[in-house]
């Protein structure tokens, strides 16, 4: 039971770190605030994360990566072209952004922009997160007939475009950049514009 309680406390700390990084950024998130937000006992943070904030940030990035991978997996379960799958993913992301009043961004891009040049540990965690999204997209595209190199290049373009569009949408407080990105990616992947009939 003690182990289960400890695991729950650790999970709450990671969840709180993730939520706070999304809202305040990595640098703007203090460890005391994380503990308070998690409702965790004082001293629990260094018990579970003796290496401190970077270790907790690394776990938060991993959690964000897991959640986006799940979103990608769910989107590929329904039938449709590659462009339609990307549209479904982007629609979910746009809903999350607008639902938060455009205050919550992708925590992986937030940490990359803030800490990528300062912390090799966090840079590597973010690089791994992005790769964990690119790889399944590449596998999906390869299964749709693209060669391995082309699938990887297209998947990299997809993830990079969506990440950039999320940043611009957040800045403009509008989902239009995301919708434009989805339209462009549908053309790239399917070779047709929205509303055009499938050959």
CATH code of residue 88:
1.10.357.10
Q: Would residue 53 count as lying in a domain?
A: yes
Average confidence score pLDDT of the chain:
91
Length of the chain: 199
Q: Would residue 175 count as lying in a domain?
A: yes
Q: What is the pTM of this model?
A: 0.88
Q: Would residue 198 count as lying in a domain?
A: no
Domain residues for the domain of 108 are: 2-190
Q: Write down the residue that tokens 């952004």 correspond to.
A: 97
Q: Would residue 197 count as lying in a domain?
A: no
CB 155 within 8 A of CB 141: yes
Q: Would residue 147 count as lying in a domain?
A: yes
146-196 per-position pLDDT tens digit: 999 999 999 999 999 999 999 999 999 999 999 999 999 999 999 854 444
Q: Would residue 35 count as lying in a domain?
A: yes
3-56 per-position pLDDT tens digit: 687 788 999 999 999 999 998 999 999 999 999 999 998 888 989 999 999 999
Q: Would residue 14 count as lying in a domain?
A: yes
Number of domains the chain contains: 1
Q: Would residue 196 count as lying in a domain?
A: no
76-95 per-position pLDDT tens digit: 888 889 999 999 999 999 99
């Amino acid at each position: 039971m003690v182990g289960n309680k400890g695991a729950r406390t650790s999970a709450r700390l990671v969840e709180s770190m993730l939520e706070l990084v999304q809202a305040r950024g990595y640098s703007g998130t203090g460890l005391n605030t994380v503990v308070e937000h998690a409702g965790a006992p004082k001293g629990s943070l260094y018990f579970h994360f003796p290496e401190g904030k970077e270790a907790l940030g690394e776990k938060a990035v991993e959690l964000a990566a897991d959640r986006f991978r799940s979103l990608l997996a769910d989107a590929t379960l329904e039938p449709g072209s590659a462009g339609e799958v990307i549209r479904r993913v982007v629609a979910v992301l746009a809903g999350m952004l607008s639902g938060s009043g455009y205050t919550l961004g992708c925590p992986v891009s937030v940490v990359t922009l803030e800490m990528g040049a300062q912390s090799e540990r966090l840079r590597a965690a973010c690089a791994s997160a992005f790769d964990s999204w690119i790889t399944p997209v590449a596998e999906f595209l390869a299964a749709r007939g693209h060669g391995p190199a082309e699938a990887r290049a297209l998947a990299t373009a997809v993830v990079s475009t969506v990440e950039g569009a999320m940043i611009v949408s957040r800045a403009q407080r509008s989902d239009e950049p995301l919708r434009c990105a989805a339209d462009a990616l549908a053309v790239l992947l399917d070779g047709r514009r929205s509303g055009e009939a499938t050959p």
